[in-house]
Chains A and B, each alone.
Chain A
Amino acid sequence: MYSPAIIAEAMVNGLLTGAVYALVALGLTLVYGVLHIINFAHGALLTCAMFAVWGLSEGLGVNVYFTIVPLAVVMFGVGYALQYWLIGPASRGEDSNTLLVTLGLSIAIENALLAVFHSDTRTLSGDAAFDVVELGPMLLSRPRLIGFGVSLLVALVLWLLLTRTDAGKAMRAVAKEPMGARLAGIDVRHIFALTFGIGCACLAVAAGLLLPTFYVTPRVGNAFVLVAFTIVVLGGMGSVPGALIGGLLIGMVESLGGLLFGESLGQGGIFVIFILVLLLRPQGLFGARA
């Protein structure tokens, strides 16, 4: 069949892509874990970030990787403001309202993007996408290697934030015991907004890492979020290490599936896993039993 080298290369490539998937999933799982809501605008916000990267890079000629930090700051601010002034107040403590608000937001964003950019597919010009690095017998894509490294770095920073800083500890406290948190002087509304902002900042980083090898359309975010949602379920809803491991696993499954069954069926493997997890271990790999 396939030589071990080809299979190894597919697995490594899958891991590389999976790390960026994990980044998208991290934002989703963090917001779920702390606010207990599924942010249906996650995909649309990712699309926005990807258009921003594309615009900065093509329009102003900024190196893609230099867009990441400023864009992450902007997306953090956008996310913070959205949660603090729109999603939070509009939901009035009802989770079903939150669902409608984030869904509405995603529809609004998507249509605004469609109106401006139409449904054309855009990519970065230049041939950075074909940059390869030789690693032993394997040829690996340089942008994907960078994506892998940066994603792991972001995951590490996030983990340090959650375990070492007061803000991160407050996020974990609010996640499980909001009343106790309020009595400790933690401003829950601020912490919710902070969490949402961090989730959006993850998307900005993911956008900068994806664009060199991917295209952008007004609906592109949804595909990633579907995968990210599978990762969140696989890793355990709200689990940060779960999202990371889940992302790497899903990346590999997709890549191997693509190799063995053809590109179009590669993603099928993801959904088989999704169903299997729901059947066999609904709490996910790292999730607590309900």
Chain B
Amino acid sequence: MLEVRGLSAGYGPTQIIRGLDLDVAPGKIVAVLGANGVGKTTLNKTLSGLLPIQAGDIRFEGQPLGGDAADILERGLVHVPEGRKIFPNMTVRENLELGSYRRAKVRRAANLEKMFVQFPRLRERSTQRAGTLSGGEQQMLAIGRGLMAEPRLLILDEPSLGLSPLLVEEMFALIRRLNAEGQAILLVEQNVVQSLEVADTAYIIENGSCSLSGPASELAGNPAVLSAYLGLEIGDA
């Protein structure tokens, strides 16, 4: 459903992504892994139209993907960003409502109810200002806001960032649950082991392009990948 070919992107003249190829098939979870600062978030921002494409092309459900962020969202590519980016001054309910600002607006009420079933915690806090939620609740809200647009493809950028181990487990359970309902997910994560467990395929990014890709189960068993990648992680910590 998503085909990225020879993509280059970055900030102004700076190129961060250089000639990257990547595919997401319908209903699958694709993990994108890589050390800090290799450009995973930059890739997500380019896919969702926050950053321009410098070279290469992106096709989404057979059609070229381009235009501004609103056009891309309208086609069902929904990006839940790193750092949540919820609206702190607005209530939980308002945050969710704005998730359907441009897409799936007619089903807003029904989807809102779905979100409250999916995240009972958000129902309890529905009139609370989002800025006063705990980190875990904010992450749930960010995902809920994304789901309100009925994504065809959901991009999750480090959803487990800053969560306690228990909540990380919950997050991965949620990802599995969404996928079991048919949701295609592009998952960017630092949690290598768990990501490879839930994903169908995985890409390792290095120097702005894919250094390795394949079925997640194969990559998980590849000691070279893990030691190289985990080695970097420990080095950065």
Which residues of A are interface residues toward B (Cβ below 8 A)? 166, 169-170, 172-173, 175-177, 179-187
B141 to chain A, nearest CB (A): 11
B21 to chain A, nearest CB (A): 24
Instruction: Evaluate contact between A185 and B90: CB separation under 8 angstroms.
Output: no
Considering the chains assembled together, what is the distance between the CA atoms of A290 and B65 in angstroms? 40
Considering the chains assembled together, what is the distance between the CA atoms of A186 and B94 in angstroms? 14
Instruction: Evaluate contact between B98 and A170: CB separation under 8 angstroms.
Output: yes
Instruction: Evaluate contact between B86 and A186: CB separation under 8 angstroms.
Output: no
Instruction: Evaluate contact between B69 and A185: CB separation under 8 angstroms.
Output: yes
Can you add 17 more A-B contacts, CB < 8 Å, to A183-B81, A184-B73, A185-B102? A166-B105, A169-B101, A170-B101, A179-B85, A180-B81, A180-B84, A180-B86, A181-B87, A183-B48, A183-B50, A183-B79, A184-B101, A185-B69, A185-B70, A185-B101, A187-B68, A187-B70
Name the 7 nearest CB pairs between A and B, nearest first: A185-B102, A180-B85, A185-B73, A182-B69, A173-B87, A185-B70, A176-B89
Instruction: Evaluate contact between B74 and A185: CB separation under 8 angstroms.
Output: yes
Query: Quick one: which of B42-87 are within 8 Å of A by CB?
Result: 48, 50, 68-70, 73-74, 78-81, 84-87
Q: What total of chain B residues lie within 8 Å of the partner, measured CB to CB?
A: 28
Considering the chains assembled together, what is the distance between the CA atoms of A173 and B73 in angstroms? 17
Instruction: Evaluate contact between B50 and A179: CB separation under 8 angstroms.
Output: yes
Q: Is B10 interfacial (CB 8 A cutoff)? A: no
Considering the chains assembled together, what is the distance between the CA atoms of A170 and B105 in angstroms? 14
CB neighbours of A173 from chain B (8 A): 87, 90, 98
A174 to chain B, nearest CB (A): 9
Q: Is B103 interfacial (CB 8 A cutoff)? A: yes
Instruction: Evaluate contact between A185 and B86: CB separation under 8 angstroms.
Output: no
> Nearest residue in B to A189 (C-beta to C-beta)?
B68
Known contacts A172-B90, A177-B88, A182-B70: A166-B101 contact under CB 8 Å: yes
Instruction: Evaluate contact between B89 and A169: CB separation under 8 angstroms.
Output: no
Instruction: Evaluate contact between A177 and B79: CB separation under 8 angstroms.
Output: no
Interchain Cβ contacts within 8 Å, total number: 70
> Nearest residue in B to A183 (C-beta to C-beta)?
B79
Instruction: Evaluate contact between B90 and A184: CB separation under 8 angstroms.
Output: no
Q: 16 A-B residue contacts at CB 8 Å?
A: A172-B89, A172-B90, A172-B94, A173-B87, A176-B89, A177-B85, A177-B86, A180-B84, A180-B86, A180-B87, A182-B70, A183-B48, A183-B80, A185-B73, A185-B149, A186-B98
Instruction: Evaluate contact between A186 and B101: CB separation under 8 angstroms.
Output: yes
Q: Is B39 interfacial (CB 8 A cutoff)? A: no
Instruction: Evaluate contact between B50 and A184: CB separation under 8 angstroms.
Output: no
Considering the chains assembled together, what is the distance between the CA atoms of A184 and B50 in angstroms? 12
Give the contacting residue for A166; candidates B73, B80, B98; CB below 8 A.
Answer: B98
Interface centre among A175, A180, A184, A187 (most CB of B within 10 A): A184
Considering the chains assembled together, what is the distance between the CA atoms of A184 and B146 in angstroms? 7
Considering the chains assembled together, what is the distance between the CA atoms of A270 and B98 in angstroms? 40
Q: Is B40 interfacial (CB 8 A cutoff)? A: no
Query: Quick one: which of B181-210 are within 8 Å of A by CB?
Result: none
Considering the chains assembled together, what is the distance between the CA atoms of A185 and B102 in angstroms? 6
Instruction: Evaluate contact between A177 and B101: CB separation under 8 angstroms.
Output: no
B232 to chain A, nearest CB (A): 27
Instruction: Evaluate contact between B85 and A169: CB separation under 8 angstroms.
Output: no
CB neighbours of B102 from chain A (8 A): 184-186
A287 to chain B, nearest CB (A): 12
